[in-house]
Structure 1
Amino acid sequence: MFSQHSIEGIFTPAEKFSFAMLYKSSPTSTEYVNRGVVQSDGSFKIQMDANAPAGIYKIVYALPQEENNFDLIYSGKEDVKLTFSLEEGLVFTASNENELWASYTKSMELINAAISNFYAKESTDEKAFEDIFNTLSDTQKGYDEASKGTMANVFIKANEPYIPTQFEDISTYSKNLKNTYLQRVDFNNELLQSSNFLTDRILAYVFGMSSSTEDTTFNQHVDDIAKAISTTKIGVKSILLEMLWWRFVELEKSNVANYITNTYLLEIAKQSNNNDLLETIVTYRDNSLGEVAIDFPIKISKNGKITETSLHKLDSADHYLIIFWSSTCFHCLDELPKVKAFIEAHPKNLKVIAIGLEDDDSTWKNTITNYPEFIHVLGLAKWDNTIANEYGIKATPSYFVLDKDKKIIAKPADVETLEVELSKL
């Protein structure tokens, strides 16, 4: 049964869009609701069910979903109309809830720009300072009053800014802003948990409250976040900390990512029986720079005799290069000869361990004859191979450079980067 309410809009440019997928967001998941086909003029319309619950909904307009979406508030009491342009972004043209929140955020952006400009000029004009923050206070109070009884009010209250009562220099203001930035946010509110608000707030705190990019600073910010969300349900806590973990992984800040794992996320994954998360964070941690590479068995054949050993027992070189490859991988067959040629042209006390991820040994046996100086390990079951899984291998070729103690000192992404790393040895 459909209600009289709908969510409709216009996408620009129309030819870049084909659908609008609607999802209902909850604190720990999103549920597909309906879809609207984008017409030739860019318009779409999604009729809402009469029983559709109020809350946060998400429109996905392209793939990948996690990068091409936006949130909206649906109260069940009004239509939502909008325009979305790849150049201009999102504008709500009908919906008191969404227009209130959008207008509020725009107003706050303008005032924050004025605050930034005031401090950028190193101004000491106390009257100008007072005027700016009076405007900030009046704006917050005005929108708080205007939004009473709406879902938008939850967001407006959560976003209440720090307002000094007297003149403060940039150092004092920045300190007080940071100290109060998380205080007004109810991390247990399900409406906030269902939106992007908490994610945006956390990222702004972790990355925007200090110019320092030192690991110790980020670790302290992570601790502050963990304290702020300490009373939230474990599912929400897991999502927020995992989001932070992924951000530091993307930034290649492995020390901070592993700090999150060891201090918070590992125990959360265990308590919630989230085995996928547990495997992901442990594999990343155990294969980070500075960690001792995971041991695995090696059989060395020489003069018809097979010697059984392992990575950790090898002591014939100052450095080791582990290569995960496959005899059916075109990139591997292109890069391995380059690796061999580079090593021969730039002799080092280096030993190569080549782990072939294979379905069977037929082509592998023939291919490895081209690399007699390598130590070869046959990794049957290919992507399900135990060694590959322990090393978190998702693609071939993959490279790990180790020192004599088997500590990981580099993980080059390609053969060109590998050559640079080997030149440093």
Structure 2
Amino acid sequence: MYKKIFFLLAILPNFIAAQNTIKGTFTPAEQFKFAFLYHVTADTSIFVDNTDISEDGSFVFNLKKNQAPGTYRIVYAQPQDEYNFDLLYNNEDIELTFDLEKGLEFITSDENKLWDSYNNSMSMIGQSLNAFYTSGGKKQRDFKKIIEILSTTQSEFEKAAEGKLVLNFITASQPYIPENLIDAKTFTENAKNNYFKHINFGNPILQNSNFLIEATLNYVFNFVDNEDKNASYITNINTVEKAIGNNPKVKKILLEILWSQFAIEENEPVANHIANAYLLDIAKTANDTELVNDLNYFKNASVGNIGPDFEIIIYDEDGEATTKKMHDLEEANNYLVVFWSTTCSHCLDEIPELHKLVETLEDSQLKVIAIALDEDRYRWKDMTYKFPEFYHVFGEGKWDNPIGDNYNVKATPSYFVLDKNKKIINKPYNVKAFEDYFKTLPQPKKEIEEGPSKKE
């Protein structure tokens, strides 16, 4: 009796201390120095652990015995959003290799090996379908054979994943499976119509991963009519919003990601549709003031909108100062609002070029308003004397300036072309792009009898 008790006591500490590990090897080893482990959630990533990478490229994370199952992310370089990969953890040891050329491979982990195998199998079947349609796609027998493989593969993987975390992802990935031969166009349309059939946006396991984000982006950007991409994007976004259903937290995250994608690409019609139709109201309900401001700043500075107003101090020939609103100016057919800085190297190259161009123009053709997002008022003032043809505004606070905010300025120089009614009509990338665009604009008619121009 006592011997049995002693034996139990002897193994009890080992049982209590039992824990899982995530270990692996990075290749080439000399290019990796550290690794960070994060637990992925719907709206953030929670730090779990970090480790140094050995000279041979090996690393190990020792997980706590109560570490929650879910999606985890290993970050191996900066910036974190570029240099990382995800994996599934469900109370098992995981061993992997990561090669910069070959990518990620799992040596041990039922969850991750099953997920990889499923994706590889589905990719091969997809290639067979593409080859079938590319070759003409006429034989019912060949089509049914591919579809049978597709259906059987999905069913077998779902059975193999029973009781596992990965089952959530495999069932949500179930593809469209037709019963009879259809042409490629009909297949694509049906696949689009059935895309969200098996995706539950309320599933917390899917929410706490990249799955819903990737599925949404794939849908919006892949099912597109190249003849009218923006119309397709907007239709797809509306479908996504409806598919998400009553899941406000997920809806906010996914729509904000979509808005950011189109905002970065400066696709203003689509980005503003997301904001106006959905995201602004969602952000206000969530009291997300920062997001509300970002959406409004982007919209206000979009082509087609009236440029946000601001004050300009104008000096006459006698040095007398008059303060005017930009909207009240009535001296040119077009206006160019340019944001620059005295410490910006690109600005110091382009602003003199812009001034040389303006010197060749009639006063009624263009007026430039140069807004310096800066901190040194004296240095700015000295530099303004080099550009007497411009109206100058000191944007105190640099990136924390209301004029720059209202024009959604993220970099200098930034150019905004306005018509005589102060409507934004173009946002050229640089001074050369402005010059090329300006040549296409209609110019004011000259009076029949006019004196010598001050430019002559």
- Paired position in structure 2 for 1:71: 86
1:28–1:358: structure 2 CA closer, same or farther, 3 Å change rule?
closer
1:173–1:329: structure 2 CA closer, same or farther, 3 Å change rule?
closer
**Which segment is superposed worse, 30-39 or 204-213?**
204-213
The answer to whether 1:390 aligns with 2:406 is yes
- Paired position in structure 2 for 1:356: 372
Give the CA deviation at 1:174. Answer: 1.3
Which protein has the larger Cα radius of gyration, Structure 1 or Structure 2?
2
The answer to whether 1:366 aligns with 2:382 is yes
The answer to whether 1:400 aligns with 2:416 is yes
How many residue pairs get matched?
423
SS at match of 2:389: coil
Give the CA deviation at 1:369. Answer: 1.2
- Paired position in structure 2 for 1:245: 259
Give the CA deviation at 1:360. Answer: 4.3
8 A contact 1:158–1:184 mirrored in 2: yes
CA distance in 2, matches of 1:251, 1:392: 14
The percent of aligned pairs where both chains have the same amino acid is 43
TM-score normalised over the length of structure 2: 0.89
SS at match of 2:25: strand
Q: C-alpha offsets along residues 148-203 of structure 1, whole Å, 9 cap, x if unaligned?
A: 00001110100111111111111221111111001110111111111111111111
Give the CA deviation at 1:406. Answer: 1.2
**Which segment is superposed worse, 326-335 or 290-299?**
326-335
8 A contact 1:292–1:407 mirrored in 2: yes
Match of 1:138 among 149, 152, 164: 152
The answer to whether 1:336 aligns with 2:351 is yes
- Paired position in structure 1 for 2:69: 54
Match of 1:254 among 268, 273, 283: 268
8 A contact 1:325–1:355 mirrored in 2: yes
CA distance in 2, matches of 1:58, 1:330: 38
Give the CA deviation at 1:59. Answer: 0.8
CA distance in 2, matches of 1:140, 1:329: 56
- Paired position in structure 1 for 2:106: 92
- Paired position in structure 1 for 2:425: 409
Match of 1:381 among 391, 394, 397: 397
Q: How does 1:283-294 map to 2 (within 5 A)?
A: 283-294=297-308
SS at match of 2:19: strand
CA distance in 2, matches of 1:284, 1:265: 13
1:366–1:154: structure 2 CA closer, same or farther, 3 Å change rule?
same
- RMSD of aligned Cα (Å): 1.6
CA distance in 1, matches of 2:75, 2:398: 35
Match of 1:114 among 128, 146, 152: 128
Gap runs ≥5 in structure 1 = none
SS at match of 1:185: coil
CA distance in 1, matches of 2:19, 2:152: 37
The answer to whether 1:157 aligns with 2:171 is yes
8 A contact 1:2–1:48 mirrored in 2: no
CA distance in 2, matches of 1:308, 1:400: 22
CA distance in 2, matches of 1:175, 1:395: 41
SS at match of 1:4: coil
Gap runs ≥5 in structure 2 = 1-15, 442-456
TM-score normalised over the length of structure 1: 0.96
Q: C-alpha offsets along residues 393-424 of structure 1, whole Å, 9 cap, x if unaligned?
A: 23322211111121212222323323322333
The answer to whether 1:266 aligns with 2:280 is yes
8 A contact 1:2–1:47 mirrored in 2: no
The answer to whether 1:170 aligns with 2:184 is yes
The answer to whether 1:320 aligns with 2:335 is yes
